[in-house]
Amino acid sequence: AQSVTQPDIHITVSEGASLELRCNYSYGATPYLFWYVQSPGQGLQLLLKYFSGDTLVQGIKGFEAEFKRSQSSFNLRKPSVHWSDAAEYFCAVVPVMEYGNKLVFGAGTILRVKS
Amino acid sequence: DAGVTQSPTHLIKTRGQQVTLRCSPKSGHDTVSWYQQALGQGPQFIFQYYEEEERQRGNFPDRFSGHQFPNYSSELNVNALLLGDSALYLCASSNSYEQFFGPGTRLTVL
């Protein structure tokens, strides 16, 4: 079945430590890939996106993500986490074989930052 | 640029009632999508409107309906509310594959 999987429900990292959030997708054709962040009670903010080309993409707030076709993955990384990064992170895809641009989201990963 | 706006911010209804949520897209955007986000879950796609027509629909019952106006703003209507309809309803607008989200409407059904 077509799906987006975020294996980690919660992740806790120390401030200043590096971060990697995992995302895997299951689609026949490589979809368009996105990472969004959501602070409590807020809407979603786009961190970065991948359509094609360079497999390492840079986003806002110092985040980057790497697309690996062989692993059907699009993992989000940050070299040094700040306390303000505590939020919920969603990986999402737009299936390219469908008309329209609906987003299909993973279940999310809650990031906690300890000082 | 005001971005995507939604109204109301919060809403409390009882079972069986009907509700209408509103969304104004970001300037220059012609496509509006609606998502339902239950507590502790990722957003689920309800439907998408483009040129005043429903272009895509997710796995939601007919109790969920919508409309897009000539100025691209949109409404989401839910009839015969159930307790399970309690959620954050997010609107997103776009003119490409990148979608911009509003702050959402928190609906509580008692």
Give the model confidence (pLDDT) of B45-54 as tens digits: 999 999 999 9
Residue A97: partners with Cβ closer than 8 Å, 6 or more residues away: A28, A29
Question: Which residue in A has a C-alpha nearest to residue B53's C-alpha?
Answer: A100
How far is A73 from A26, CA to CA, in rounded Å?
A: 9
Does A40 sit behind a cis peptide bond, omega within 30 degrees of 0 on the bond before it? no
Please tell me the predicted confidence (pLDDT) of residue A30.
84
**Short-list B42, B35, B6, CA closest to B99:** B35
For residue A92, the distance in angstroms to the closest alpha carbon of chain B comes to 9
Please tell me the predicted confidence (pLDDT) of residue A81.
98
Looking from the CA of A45 toward its CB, the CA atoms found within 13 Å total 14
Binning chain B into helix, strand and coil, the percentages to the nearest 5 are 5, 50, 45
C-alpha dihedral sign at A87, A95, B53, B96? positive
Task: Give strand pairing partners of A114.
Answer: A14
Please tell me the predicted confidence (pLDDT) of residue A101.
86
A-B Cβ pairs (cutoff 8 Å, strict): 62
Question: Which residue in A has a C-alpha nearest to residue B48's C-alpha?
Answer: A102
Please tell me the predicted confidence (pLDDT) of residue A2.
82
Work out the widest C-alpha separation in chain A, in whole angstroms: 46
Q: Which amino acid is at A109?
A: T
Question: Which residue in A has a C-alpha nearest to residue B46's C-alpha?
Answer: A102
**Residue ranges in chain B modelled with pLDDT below 50:** none
Is A46 near chain B, with CB under 8 Å? Answer: yes
How far is B107 from A8, CA to CA, in rounded Å?
A: 28
Task: Say if residues A16 and A72 touch (Cβ distance below 8 Å).
Answer: no
The distance from CA A45 to its chain's CA centroid, rounded to whole angstroms, is 11
Strand residue runs (E) in chain A: 3-5, 10-14, 19-21, 24-26, 32-38, 44-50, 56-58, 64-68, 73-78, 87-94, 104-105, 109-114
By CB atoms closer than 10 A (0-12, 13-18, 19+), residue A83 is exposed
Task: Give strand pairing partners of B34.
Answer: B47, B91
What is the full per-residue pLDDT of chain A (115 aa) written as tens digits? 789 999 999 999 999 999 999 999 998 888 899 999 999 878 899 999 999 999 999 999 999 999 999 999 999 999 999 999 999 999 999 988 777 889 999 999 999 999 9
Cβ atoms < 10 Å from Cβ of B35? 26
Task: Say if residues B5 and B101 touch (Cβ distance below 8 Å).
Answer: no
For residue B3, the distance in angstroms to the closest alpha carbon of chain A comes to 12
Please tell me the predicted confidence (pLDDT) of residue B104.
96
